[in-house]
Amino acid sequence: MENGDKKANIQALIGMLDESDPEVYQSIKNALFALGEEALPYIEDAIDLKTSPLWQNRIEALIRELRLETACKNLKAWKEESEPDLMQGFYFLSSAFYPDLQWEQVRDTFNRLHGDCWLLLASQENLQQNILLLNNFFFNVCKFKIGKKITDGYSFADFFLPKLINLRQGNDRSLSLAYQYLAQRNKIPVFQLNLPIVNILACTTDLSRHHKSDIVFCLDITQKGALVRRADVEPVLSEQKQIQVCNTVESLQDYAKLLYVMASLNESDPFRKQAVQKLHQSLGNSPNSIDIFGTGPTFPPEPF
């Protein structure tokens, strides 16, 4: 179909969205969903074409659903990539609810942070010293901070990128993702552990080592990256056989699962509840996923 014919076909379908017959409306909706992201700009432009409540409600609902379907599709493709970019996956997750957020904005923000951080770390070869410098850069220079810890309550916005980028604020798990991403971009081997609630990052010997036997020390993101000695976590790592070091995909899978559980318990918006469930299903469970309500270990931060 030629571009002009395709555009005319999309616009014709959109023009019938106030169809009163439920079966006909469902057929129109299905046809637009089949076109997916391609139809979205035309639907967004059509919101003011008619003023009836039926028209407005259907257009707004269709826009939300198509954005969600696009995000789910992107996440499914992302997790199959040979080297998925953690921040791009985080962007796809956020895009379901924040349509004004652009990947270019996210990419450029973290590219700048990576460059500024690299200048501080370039001459440092000591792993522990690099972590201390990264902590200072992340928490004191960039002023990333926890808005509300996951264990202290629920804030939907704290799970997503716009607040993290614009206000440098999130919950402890979203900050963990940003910290992990920035560390790995600067060749510092920091990884999320698959703990369901406790937000502890693990520092291994190098970026290719993803097993808990490779952990040198841990970091407590709720204490501005305070270092926790290997000797202090060894009893927990030995006793809790399920604890594993997460790769990129597993980190986001566990994050989406946590979001889904928290939204299921606390979210009052029905669409958000349904949406986070679909996003979680698109990513699937990590092979090493731990029960979100399992009794997790605690790691008292103890500086070196």
- For the record, the structure tokens of 78 come out as 């992302």
Q: For residue 299, what pLDDT is reported? A: 38
Structure letter (DSSP) for residue 76: H
Which residues contact residue 303 at a Cβ distance below 8 angstroms, ignoring those fewer than 6 apart? 226, 227
The mean pLDDT of 162-190, rounded to a whole number, is: 96
Span between the terminal Cα atoms of the chain, in Å: 66
Q: For residue 3, what pLDDT is reported? A: 63
Q: For residue 1, what pLDDT is reported? A: 47
Q: For residue 199, what pLDDT is reported? A: 78
Confidence tier at 171 by pLDDT (50, 70, 90): very high
Q: For residue 8, what pLDDT is reported? A: 85
Contacts 24+ apart (CB under 8 A), 169-173: 169/144, 169/145, 170/144, 170/146, 171/146, 171/147, 172/146, 172/199, 172/221, 172/222, 173/199, 173/255, 173/258
Quote the pTM value: 0.89
% pLDDT > 90, the chain:
60
Tens-digit pLDDT profile for residues 187-245: 999 999 998 777 789 999 999 888 888 999 999 999 999 999 988 888 877 877 788 99
The mean pLDDT of 159-166, rounded to a whole number, is: 96
What is the residue-averaged pLDDT of the chain? 89
77-86, 91-100, 229-238, 258-267 — which is least confidently predicted? 229-238
Contacts 24+ apart (CB under 8 A), 162-167: 162/94, 162/98, 162/101, 165/105, 165/106, 165/109
pLDDT of 12 > 60? The answer is yes
Tens-digit pLDDT profile for residues 88-138: 999 999 999 999 999 999 999 999 999 999 998 877 778 999 999 999 999
Confidence tier at 38 by pLDDT (50, 70, 90): confident
Nearest-10 Cα torsion for 238, 244, 245, 249? 180
Confidence tier at 303 by pLDDT (50, 70, 90): very low
pLDDT of 58 > 80? The answer is yes
Q: For residue 293, what pLDDT is reported? A: 55
